[in-house]
Amino acid sequence: MGRPCRPETASVGGRRGGGFGWPGHGTPRAIELDMDSTTSPAELASILSGSLAQALLARGVSLEELEGEAPAGRRNRLETGLMALVRDTGDEAAFEALHALSHRHLLNWVRSRILPGRVPLDAQEILQDAFVNIFCYRHSFRDEGGRVFGAWARTIAANAVRRAAKQPARFSFQALPEGLQEPMDRRALPDQVASQQEDVLHLRRAMGLFLLHYQRAFGLLGERDRAILEWVEIEGRSYVDLGRELGLRPNNIKVIVFRARLRLRAEMRRAMEGALRERAQDAGSGAVAEVLTPLIGVA
């Protein structure tokens, strides 16, 4: 295969500036043409004329449509003949003609291979890279045994698609948009800070009062119930373990814990309702239940 050439920069429609850096050659004009252009019969006749036509004829490549030859077959035959000429001579005019004949079909093929993903891919840029490599690796092209340019070019284009898909996403540094897309300032305003501090203070006071009522209600339980609740809720012991130790069935331990919790809730509700009822009189009859339910559940 020969040592690959490494293009320094490329230029398609102003995407990247500069020319290709292969020794002894300028930039083939075909690379700089618009990738969406099409080739009319008149343009084809103009491209395959003069010394280029003579070179193809000398190599046994007929420019006319052969008997029974489909348009696609003629294009494949001319592309293959031009690529062989580029391979053997490095002729830039032949490369330009090859590009004019094949780029539209190869571009459609590249677009069909681009899958939706997180990295947006530019089919025209990928095609440009493919043609760069077609020229760089021209010495590896083989046209014997019925091989055609199209299949070889699609292999190179497929590699270009894979390389582009592996590249990280490109980001554009632009002015931030105005309106709803502006970055949110997550810092709290002074009035929000004051309100949050006040809420925290009220919450601490309420939690302290809640724990005092819990302590009082817990003290009203029997000694056995207090011990079993402590073993289950603080030490995390299982019903089976406690049942074995106390000589009770696990279901009996469950019932003891359940009833102890009910008595705790009922006593806390009774004590707290008395303190809250007076404050809730102006708010309606449902205010007491609305306040107590999130704290100690439904009686």
Residue pLDDT, tens place only, 46-97? 778 788 888 888 888 888 878 888 878 888 888 888 999 999 998 888 898 8
Phi-psi region of 18 (alpha: psi -120 to 50; beta: other; left: phi over 0): left
Collect contacts of 143-146 with beta carbons under 8 A, ≥24 apart.
Answer: 143/80, 143/81, 143/83, 143/84
* C-alpha–C-alpha distance, residues 150 and 1, integer Å: 19
pLDDT bracket for residue 110 (50, 70, 90): very high
Place of tokens 């997550």: 186
* C-alpha–C-alpha distance, residues 200 and 255, integer Å: 37
pLDDT of residue 203: 87
The whole-model pTM stands at: 0.46
Using one digit for the tens of pLDDT, what is the confidence trace for 166-199? 876 665 555 555 555 566 667 777 777 788 888 8
Contacts of 105 (CB under 8 A, 6+ apart): 75, 150
Judge contact between 266 and 299, C-beta under 8 A. yes
Within 10 Å of residue 28's Cβ, how many Cβ atoms? Answer: 24
Residue in 247, 249, 224, 230 with CA at minimum distance from that of residue 239: 249
pLDDT of residue 15: 37
3-state SS of the chain is CCCCCCCCCCCCCCCCCCCCCCCCCCCCHHHHCCCCCCCCHHHHHHHCCHHHHHHHHHCCCCCCCCCCCCHHHHHHHHHHHHHHHHHHHCCHHHHHHHHHHHHHHHHHHHHHHCCCCCCCCCHHHHHHHHHHHHHHCHHHCCCCCCCCHHHHHHHHHHHHHHHHHHCCCCCCCCCCCCCCCCCCCCCCCHHHHHHHHHHHHHHHHHHHHHHHHHHHHHHCCCHHHHHHHHHHHHCCCCHHHHHHHHCCCHHHHHHHHHHHHHHHHHHHHHHHHHHHHHHHHHHCCCHHHHHHHHHHCCC
**Cα separations in angstroms, 31 against 42, 61, 156, 159, 175:** 21, 24, 16, 19, 33
Domains of the chain as residue ranges with CATH: 29-166 (no CATH), 191-296 (1.10.10.10)
Using one digit for the tens of pLDDT, what is the confidence trace for 289-298? 555 555 555 4
Contacts of 55 (CB under 8 A, 6+ apart): 85, 89, 91, 94
Alpha carbon 57 to its chain centroid, in Å, reads 52
pLDDT bracket for residue 131 (50, 70, 90): very high
Averaged pLDDT score across all residues of the chain: 76
Cα torsion through 119, 121, 125, 126, rounded to 10: 100
Using one digit for the tens of pLDDT, what is the confidence trace for 230-286? 999 888 888 898 888 889 888 888 889 888 888 888 888 888 777 667 666 655 555
